[in-house]
Amino acid sequence: MVNTGEINGSSNFMDFLDEPIPDVGTYEDFHTIDWLREKSRDTDRHRKITSKSKESVWEFIKGLLDAWSGWIVMLLIGLLAGTLAGVIDLAVDWMTDLKEGICLNGFWYSHEQCCWTSDETTFDDRNKCPQWQKWSELMIDKSEGASAYILNYFLYTMWALTFAFLAVSLVRVFAPYACGSGIPEIKTILSGFIIRGYLGKWTLLIKTVTLVLVVSSGLSLGKEGPSVHVACCCGNLFSSLLSKYSKNEGKRREVLSAAAAVGVSVAFGAPIGGVLFSLEEVSYYFPLKTLWRSFFAALVAAFTLRSINPFGNSRLVLFYVEYHTPWYMAELFPFILLGVFGGLWGTLFIRCNIAWCRRRKTTSLGKYPVLEVIVVTAITAIIAYPNPYTRRSTSELISELFNDCGALESSQLCDYINDINMTRPVDDIPDRPAGPGVYTAMWQLALALVFKIIITIFTFGMKIPSGLFIPSIAVGAIAGRIVGVGVEQLAYHHHDWIIFRNWCRPGADCVTPGLYAMVGAAACLGGVTRMTVSLVVIMFELTGGLEYIVPLMAAAVTSKWVADAFGKEGIYEAHIHLNGYPFLDVKDEFTHRTLATDVMRPRRGEPPLSVLTQDNMTVEDVETLIKDTDYNGFPVVVSRDSERLIGFAQRRELIIAISKFGIYISRFSISLNFFCVFVSIY
C-alpha cells in the first residue's frame, strides 16, 4: 500500500512537525508560569542574539539595544510613576481642602497655596487669609456660630460622600481590579501567578483617579499600597512594548519587581526603602541585575517627584523632622513598650479585618459594595468632623505628631507653660509643664486613637483603592505622642527619680515627644505588615531622622516578635490566603511528613494516578485522559511499572498540540494510534 505519493506525504508531514506549535508557552488566566521554561527560553534568545551580533554591524547594534532595553524601561517607569505620584499628591491636597472651603483667587488652589501670596496673613493666624473662605463665609457670610458650624459640618460630609460614591462607582463599572491595596495580588503575580487585566491600562487609569477621590474623602486609608499597584501597572505597560518582556513572563516579573520598588519610592520619598521593600516583602525572584535596575528606577522616580515638588517644601520626605535632643538609654523601655503595643495592634487588626472581610465574602453584605462604602464614609465623616485631629487629612495629622515643639509652633500640642525669664536659644527649649492646650489635645488624641483603630478595620478591604501604611502609621504616632508627653511630664515633675537623675536635670531638654510618635508609627506598621529592615529604612528616609535608627530598630523587632507570637502571617499574606491565591511564601515552614512514594502508589480501592508515560501512549490515549479528568497538568513518568518522574505537561499545551495534530490527520490521513514521545528540555 506504500506508494510514492505516500512517501512524499510522509516527508511533508515530518516537515510540518518541525514547525513551532502556536500559543505553546503562553498561559491561561489564573494559571502559574513555568519558571524553568521561561529561564530556558530567555537563555536561548540571548544565545541567538549573541551569535547574530557577530554577523553584521546592524545585528551588533540590535544586540546593544536589547541589552539596554531593560534600563530604558526602568527610566520610563520612573518618569511615569513619579509624575503620577506628584499629580496625585497635588490633587489630594486640593480636594481635601475643598471639603472645608474654597480659594477666591482660583478654585484650583489648596488652602496653603491660596495663602502663600497673601499680604494680610499674620503670624498668629498664619493659616487664615481673606482669599480663603470657608463654605459658611461664602454662603451665609458667617465664620462663627451654630449655623456656620452646622453648614460646614453638612458640606464636609456631603463632599466626602460625593468623592466616595464617585470612586466606588468608577471601580465597579470600569475596573473591578482597581479596588483594594493591590499588594497581596502583586505578591501573587510576582510569585508566578497569572491574573489577566490586573495590571492593565484601564486599571492604571481608574486606580489613579479613584485613589485621589478616596483619600480626599477622609476615609481611614492611605495611598501607599495602591501606589505600588499603580507603579506595577506602569511597569506592565512599558514591558508589553518589548517582545523581550511581553513574550517571557519570567522577564516581565523582573520589571514588575523593580516597579514595586518605584511605588514605595514615590509614595514615601524613600528610594532605598523602596528597593528593600521589594526585596524583603514583595518579590519572589530578585536577581542581582534586578536590584540595580530597581535602584535606578526608584532614583529616577524620586528625582521626578522632587522636580514636581508636591509638598511645597523643597524636600523629598513626607514628614521632615529635626530634633535637637539625643535619645537616652533609659528611654529604650518606653520604646520597647511601644513595640509591644504595635505587635498587639497588628494582631488585633489582622484578625478583626480578616473576620470582617470573610463575612463580606460569605454573606449578602458583599452584594452591596456601593452601599457599604457610602455607609462607612458617612460614619467616618460624621464622627471625624467634631475632632480636629480626625477632621484633617491623616498625613497632616502625622506631620503634626512627629514635629518637635519649637518657639514658633502654634499647635495645641505645644501649649506649654513658658518661663518668662527663659533666655535659652530657640532650638534648645527645656522641658516645661503642660498647659491646658496639651491636656485638651491628649483626650482628643485618645478619642482619635480609638476611632482610628475601629474604623480602619472596616475600611480596609472595601471595593475602593485602600492602603494601610498611613492609617497604621497614624495609630502608632497617636499612641507614641501620648506616651511621649506622659514621659516628658513625668521627667519634669519627678526629675529626682533614679531613672531620670543621671540624664534629665532641671531646666534641660530631656524628652522629645515627637520621637516617641515616630517610634510608635514604626511599631504599628511593623506589627501589621511584619516588615523589619525595609521598615526602619523607610521610616528614617520618611522623616530624615537618621540619628534615631536604634530606637526604630528596637520597636520594629519587638513589634514583630510580639505579633509573631500570635501568628506568622502579616496582613498581606492573610488576604492572599483569604482570597485563595496559590502563593507559596519562601518564609513559610511546612510540617508535612508525606513522602512522594506514599502518593505515587495509591492504596487498594483508590483510582490510579493520572499520569503520562514517556513513550508508550498514543494520541488517542492522551485525548481520553484529558476528557476524563479536569487537572491543569499531568506528571510524565518513565512507565506504569517504573513511575520515575521525568517532567510535567500542562493540559492547555497538550490540547493545543492535539488540535494541531488534528490538522495533520485531515491533511495526511494519519491514524490516532500514532505514539507520543515526551522529551525533557531541561
Of the listed ranges 90-94, 137-141, 155-159, 308-312, the least confidently predicted one is 308-312
Going by DSSP bridges, is the β-strand pair 645-650/633-637 parallel, antiparallel, or unpaired? antiparallel
Q: Give pLDDT tens digits for 611-635.
A: 888 888 888 888 888 888 888 888 8
Q: Give the integer Cα–Cα distance in Å for 614 and 628.
A: 20
Query: Are 615 and 636 a contacting pair, CB within 8 Å?
Result: no
Query: Are 33 and 284 a contacting pair, CB within 8 Å?
Result: no
372-391-435-509 Cα dihedral, nearest 10 degrees:
90
Query: Are 250 and 35 a contacting pair, CB within 8 Å?
Result: yes
Indicate whether 181 pLDDT > 80: yes
What cell was used for 376?
462607612
Residue entry with cell 498540540 = 657
Q: Give pLDDT tens digits for 78-125.
A: 999 999 999 999 999 899 999 988 888 888 888 887 877 666 665 455
Q: Give pLDDT tens digits for 378-405.
A: 999 999 999 999 998 898 899 889 888 7
Percentage, residues of the chain above pLDDT 70: 85
Q: Give the integer Cα–Cα distance in Å for 114 and 671.
A: 81
What string of H, E and C letters represents the secondary structure of 488-506? HHHHHHCCCCHHHHCCCCC
Which of the given ranges, 137-151, 213-227, 406-420, has the highest pLDDT on average?
A: 213-227
Query: Are 504 and 510 a contacting pair, CB within 8 Å?
Result: yes
Residue 299: count other Cβ atoms within 10 Å of its Cβ: 18
Closest listed residue to residue 557, CA positions, set 342, 350, 330 = 342
What cell was used for 235?
511597569
pLDDT bin (cut points 50, 70, 90) of residue 4 is very low
Q: What residues does 613 pair with on adjacent strands?
A: 637
Q: What residues does 390 pair with on adjacent strands?
A: none
Residue entry with cell 500570635 = 566
What cell was used for 346?
497588628
Query: Are 206 and 229 a contacting pair, CB within 8 Å?
Result: no
pLDDT bin (cut points 50, 70, 90) of residue 131 is confident
In order of 17, 159, 395, 407, the CA distances from 573 in angstroms are 45, 34, 26, 46
Does 575 or 410 have the greater pLDDT score? Answer: 575
What is the total residue count of the chain?
Answer: 682
Residue 194: count other Cβ atoms within 10 Å of its Cβ: 16
